[in-house]
Amino acid sequence: MTTKTARSRNQLVVLRLGHRIQRDVRVTTHVCLTARALGADGIIISDVHDRRITDTINRVTKQFGGSFTIETGKPWRHSVTEWKKAGGRVVHLTAYGIPLPEIIERIRASHENKLVVVGAEKVPGEMFHLADWNVSVTNQPISEVSALGIFLDWMFNHRGLQEEFPNAALRIVPTEHGKRVVRP
Ligand SMILES: C[S@@+](CC[C@H](N)C(=O)[O-])C[C@H]1O[C@@H](n2cnc3c(N)ncnc32)[C@H](O)[C@@H]1O
């Protein structure tokens, strides 16, 4: 097992575009949970504030550990341009992009912080030009949750599957049958 804080690497933050408060609450929550569990450092939910999601994710982080950040309401274009101005690189997950297996080595080899963008409904055309890499996880339409999960798994060479989160109040102990949760 590797501990999240013991692993030295650049920052990776997810940017969720187009969240619609009523309609997308469940999917956006799952985007956040996937980002946190598979090694991202935080998430920005662009353009709207959603207190329910922020509270849910902060509660999960408090219980299961780590230091995942969640920010809401910042205009998406501002997040992307600020990120690039600070020297970071931008990965946009889209069915129209270059296949993940063809491009992942180049993304892994770059040492800058990464902003990984996932959409909800229609992503503005400008995003395709602002991105350093438009990356497809298959060239079929899939869910942003699965696209993000697969991307992070490849990005971190499966390390996210065995990572320990520091300062957890609860820890799930893998068992062959049933459920076991301990307070470390
Ligand atoms: C449900 S899709 C809707 C996309 C929308 N129809 C469009 O054309 O922009 C929501 C998000 O999932 C992600 N996504 C869907 N299929 C993908 C794929 N094959 N590879 C990478 N990302 C994908 C993209 O980030 C996309 O913005």
- Residue with the smallest CA separation from ligand 1 atom 7 is 122
Per-residue pLDDT at 6: 46
Instruction: Sketch out the chain's domains with CATH numbers.
Output: 2-182 (3.40.1280.10)
As a dihedral over the C-alpha atoms of residue 119, residue 121, residue 124, residue 129, rounded to 10 degrees, the angle is: 40
Per-residue pLDDT at 121: 86
CA distance 114 to 9: 11
Measured from the Cα of 122, ligand 1's closest atom is: 9
Per the structure block, which two tokens stand in for 107?
């993304």
CA distance 34 to 51: 19
Per the structure block, which two tokens stand in for 47?
């353009």
Other Cβ atoms closer than 10 A to 84: 16
Per-residue pLDDT at 184: 86
pLDDT tens profile 111-166: 999 999 999 989 999 999 999 999 999 999 999 999 999 999 999 999 999 999 99
- Segment 42-46 shows an average pLDDT of 97
Evaluate if residue 1 carries a pLDDT over 70: no
Give residues (CB < 6 A) around ligand 1: 93-95, 118-123, 136-138, 140-144, 147
* DSSP three-state, residue 6: helix
pLDDT tens profile 14-43: 999 988 888 999 999 999 999 999 999 999
- pLDDT tier at 174 (50, 70, 90 boundaries)? very high
Other Cβ atoms closer than 10 A to 83: 22
Percent of the chain with pLDDT over 90: 90
CA distance 89 to 111: 9
pTM over 0.85: yes
Measured from the Cα of 136, ligand 1's closest atom is: 20
- Could you tell me which of 39, 64, 43 has the C-alpha nearest to residue 53? 43
CA 77 to ligand 1 centroid distance, Å: 18
